[in-house]
């Protein structure tokens, strides 16, 4: 059975009880934590810094954490978040003056390497960097705020990324972030997604276990239907 990952996005969590909320969502079945970093320059919002990540690690949260950097300049932040306990570090090519250098810096820091693509970012940028990637993250919305609706045309873009991965570097994980919910989860499985970043759909519920269990059941059911065709 193929491994799928549910990544609760803590941008939608209760910040007054952040550590407690994260532990609850992990107990309920979340596989890794998606940690959005926004600087109010690259995207129009201001969120979390490396001290928050360190405090979560100090609070015995040991699950993998994908730090999604939507900020520039990015290299100094990579060093700080790696020191604070990031597992993956994902950045957007528009935030780096030298993309290859930034990719190598993440690897040198001991973290898994991710690249984030906005809805309008052309896919040909992947042709020159895929050999350095562990993760490709496609935004299903324009980045900046949680609770947005998934852009339908991103399904086609996911299919194209999946084809690139399968033909060149099949160990790369394909992640989608933004507007993921129970209504489109099956379409995302069909498009070849490995990691489902889900924020408000989980955290707006009073029962994380029920929501995550239903999501996982839908993922597995859709995948079983695909392989049995």
What are the residue numbers of the active site? 36, 177
How does DSSP classify residue 141?
Answer: S
User: Which residues lie below 8 Å from residue 60, measured CB to CB, with a gap of 6+?
Assistant: none
By residue count, the chain amounts to 229
User: Is residue 92 classed as helix, strand or coil in its secondary structure?
Assistant: coil
Going by their DSSP bridges, the two strands 195-198 and 173-177 should be labelled as parallel
End-to-end CA distance of the chain: 15
Q: Which two tokens stand for residue 35?
A: 């940690």
* Strand ranges, E, within 58-111: 65-70, 88-91
């Amino acid at each position: 059975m193929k491994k799928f990952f549910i990544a609760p996005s803590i941008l939608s969590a209760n910040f007054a009880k952040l550590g407690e909320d994260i532990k609850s969502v992990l107990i309920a079945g979340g596989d890794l934590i998606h940690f959005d970093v926004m600087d109010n320059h690259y995207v129009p919002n201001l969120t979390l810094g490396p001290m928050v990540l360190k405090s979560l690690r100090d609070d015995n949260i040991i699950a993998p954490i994908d730090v999604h950097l939507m900020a520039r300049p990015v290299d100094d932040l990579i060093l700080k978040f790696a020191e604070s306990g990031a597992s993956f570090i994902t950045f957007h090519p528009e935030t780096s003056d030298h993309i290859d250098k930034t990719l190598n810096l993440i690897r040198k820091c001991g973290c898994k390497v991710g690249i984030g693509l906005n809805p309008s970012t052309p896919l040909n940028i992947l042709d020159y960097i895929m050999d350095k990637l562990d993760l490709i993250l496609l935004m299903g919305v324009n980045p900046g705020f949680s609770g947005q609706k998934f852009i339908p045309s991103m399904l086609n873009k996911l299919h194209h990324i999946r084809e690139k991965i399968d033909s060149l570097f099949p160990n790369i994980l394909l992640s989608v972030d933004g507007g993921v919910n129970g209504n489109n989860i099956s379409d995302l499985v069909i498009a070849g997604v490995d990691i489902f970043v889900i924020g408000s759909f989980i955290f707006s519920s009073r029962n994380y276990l029920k929501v995550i269990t239903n999501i996982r059941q839908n993922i597995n059911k859709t995948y079983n239907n695909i392989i049995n065709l």
